[in-house]
Amino acid sequence: MNNKKGLIINNNKGNSINNSLNNNSNNNITYPIISYKNVDIQKIEILKANKRKTGIYIWTHKESGKSYVGSAMDLSRRLSNYYSFSYLKTKKINSRICNALLKYGYSNFSLDILEHCEPSLLISREQYFIDLLNPEYNILKIAGNSLGFKHSEMTKAKMSINNTGKKHSYETRKK
């Protein structure tokens, strides 16, 4: 079902992500539950519709099909970060999706809300979609975990400078 603003609800036709989601025999739910095809002009609608909702989302580059799966306790709050240039610029060193949004612009991406879920299921559901879709923009392949994340050499140097001259407590040194 389409409307003038490019909103698609429960449409499983089209891109390979939708096909991957809906061809999985383990689910009886149509994904995504809501799609935004014009995220550059749908910002207010996106933020209002997802206010105080817990769930899983996916950003997809329209031309390449590359994607990023994420989750949030408050989707509106998380998604508003992606609309903040200062957030994107501070995260861009270590975030492929932030770099891509800055490089290609919002008009070259779509945003799908894959599902709303209970907070207690959030990480396991995000992991399910990461495993199913293997999103290229996700640096970490384990939901809710920074295992495998590597700081850049520049970041390591900054942390070293910030910690120079600091003295550790007796308890810390003892560890």
Whole-model pTM over 0.95: no
Going by pLDDT thresholds of 50, 70 and 90, the confidence category of residue 4 is very low
Distance, in Å, from the CA atom of 32 to the CA atom of 110, rounded to the nearest integer, reads 12
Domain range for 76: 7-143
The pLDDT tens digits of the residues spanning 31-71 come to 899 999 999 999 999 999 999 999 999 999 999 999 999 99
73 part of a folded domain = yes
Q: How many structural domains does the chain have?
A: 1
Q: Is residue 63 part of a domain?
A: yes
Alpha-carbon gap, residue 114 to 35, rounded angstroms: 8
User: 19 or 160: which carries more pLDDT confidence?
Assistant: 160
Q: What is the pLDDT of residues 74-88, one digit of tens each?
A: 999 999 999 998 888
Q: 133-144: per-residue pLDDT in tens?
A: 999 999 888 887
**Residue 169 covered by a domain:** no
CATH of the domain at 123: 3.40.1440.10
User: What pLDDT is attached to residue 26?
Assistant: 53
pLDDT at 14 over 60: no
Domain assignment present for residue 148? The answer is no
Render 77-122 in DSSP notation, one character per residue.
HHHHHHT-HHHHHHHTTT-HHHHHHHHH-GGGEEEEEEEE--GGGH
Whether the CB-CB separation of 53 and 77 falls below 8 Å is answered with no
Asked whether residue 157 is assigned to any structural domain, the reply reads no
* Residue owning tokens 């799609």: 35
**pLDDT score recorded for residue 140:** 85
Is residue 109 over pLDDT 50? yes
